[in-house]
Amino acid sequence: MSEILDRITEKILRQIDGEGFRQKGAFNLRHNGIALCHGDSEHIKIRKKEDRQGIDIFIDGATKGEQVHIPVVVDASGMKDEVYNDFYIEEGAEVTIIAGCGIHNSGCNESRHDGIHSFHVGKGANVRYEEKHYGEGEGTGAKVLNPVTKIYLEEDAVFTLDTVQIKGVDSTVRKTDVELGENAKLYVIEKLMTHDSQTAQSDMEVQMNGSGSSAQIISRSVAKGESRQVFHPKAVGNAGCHAHVQCDSIIMDHAEVSSIPEINARHLDAAIIHEAAIGRINDEQLVKLRTLGMTEEEAESIIIDNFLN
């Protein structure tokens, strides 16, 4: 890679990999549609797919407390990168998967990444999946990210999905589908901020098929400028289960936010709750911070940071 490309890649990696990407243990760095480098650990193996773009990640049951880093960087204007990654997590494994995609677009053509990720989580396994999306670049070309996430949880499995998009992505359509087995648990934390004329759509469907399964879905967003956001989380109880869906948004300027939580009970012992709230920044909080000597912009920034975090 050239020196300038190194600088761009390193900058983006700092944004999308909070733990710090390093060529150690299990990792795979994808750059402009090519696996730039990858490595295995004793218990985690990464293999290139033979039939299409992407990788298979095999995590054995002896994995305890390890991390897998699989970031994607796109800095070629006009590129569409589509990748299929499949994770096979064996019974009893405990692992954190740190993903994310950053796009740097200095040109006039759209740059786009579509990541299709499937997780097959064995009995009693505990998985944390962190995904950050980020866009930058002085060009006029759009930065587009359309992730698809499919999660299949066997008995007693636990999955935490932590997704963040806070800057620079012009358009995103996120689709998440989850199926829970007996006593499986799902935790979702979704944080999103849009500005200018950006658009974001998040569609999620959680099927609680096993007795004792549960899901907690928390979505927080801030919409600025003339941006548009649509949230549609759906929780379906097909057995005795518990679920709580909560969508909270701050709206600013001339933005628009639609929150459409949907719950569907198909079993007598399915207990599902949903909440949705959209509102402006609290004036009393603004005034209090202004009295401490902050500008209006500084006060808004602190309120937003605390809301999203």
Q: What is the pLDDT of residues 100-124, one digit of tens each?
A: 999 999 999 999 999 999 999 999 9
Q: How many domains does the chain have?
A: 1
Evaluate if residue 78 carries a pLDDT over 80. Answer: yes
Q: What is the pLDDT of residues 236-290, one digit of tens each?
A: 999 999 999 999 999 999 999 999 989 999 999 999 999 999 999 988 888 898 8
User: Distance between CA 200 and CA 175 in Å, rounded?
Assistant: 11
Residue 309 pLDDT: 83
Beta bridge partners of residue 208, listed in sequence order: 180, 237
Residue at 54 is within a domain: yes
φ, ψ of residue 2 to 5 degrees: the values are -75, 165
Residue at 190 is within a domain: yes
User: Distance between CA 238 and CA 240 in Å, rounded?
Assistant: 7
Evaluate if residue 2 carries a pLDDT over 50. Answer: no
Of 171, 184, 116, nearest in space to 142 by CA:
171
Taken in order 46, 49, 55, 56, the sign of the CA dihedral is negative
Q: What is the pLDDT of residues 119-154, one digit of tens each?
A: 999 999 999 999 999 999 988 999 999 999 999 999
Count the neighbouring beta carbons within 10 Å of the beta carbon of residue 141.
19
Beta bridge partners of residue 220, listed in sequence order: 191, 248
Dig out the tokens for 95 from the structure. Answer: 């692992």
Residue 3 pLDDT: 45
Residue 18 pLDDT: 77
Residue at 307 is within a domain: no
Look at the block and give the residue holding tokens 């469907």.
205
- Report yes or no: 243 and 273 within 8 Å, Cβ to Cβ: yes
Share the mean pLDDT of the chain: 94
The share of the chain scoring above pLDDT 70, in percent, equals: 98
Q: What is the pLDDT of residues 16-75, one digit of tens each?
A: 997 778 888 999 999 999 988 899 999 999 999 999 999 999 999 999 999 999 999 999
Residue at 295 is within a domain: no
Dig out the tokens for 212 from the structure. Answer: 């004792």
Residue at 296 is within a domain: no
Evaluate if residue 297 carries a pLDDT over 60. Answer: yes
pLDDT band for 77, please (50, 70, 90 cuts): very high
Of 73-87, 213-227, 279-293, the range with the lowest mean pLDDT is 279-293
Q: If you average pLDDT over residues 157-186, what whole number do you get?
A: 96
Residue at 293 is within a domain: no
CA 86 to chain centre: 16
Residue at 141 is within a domain: yes
Residue 22 pLDDT: 84
User: Distance between CA 15 and CA 242 in Å, rounded?
Assistant: 35
Residue at 300 is within a domain: no
User: Distance between CA 198 and CA 180 in Å, rounded?
Assistant: 33
Of 146, 141, 69, nearest in space to 104 by CA:
141
Dig out the tokens for 89 from the structure. Answer: 């997590």
Q: If you average pLDDT over residues 177-200, what whole number do you get?
A: 97
Please give the residue range of the domain that contains residue 44.
Answer: 3-281
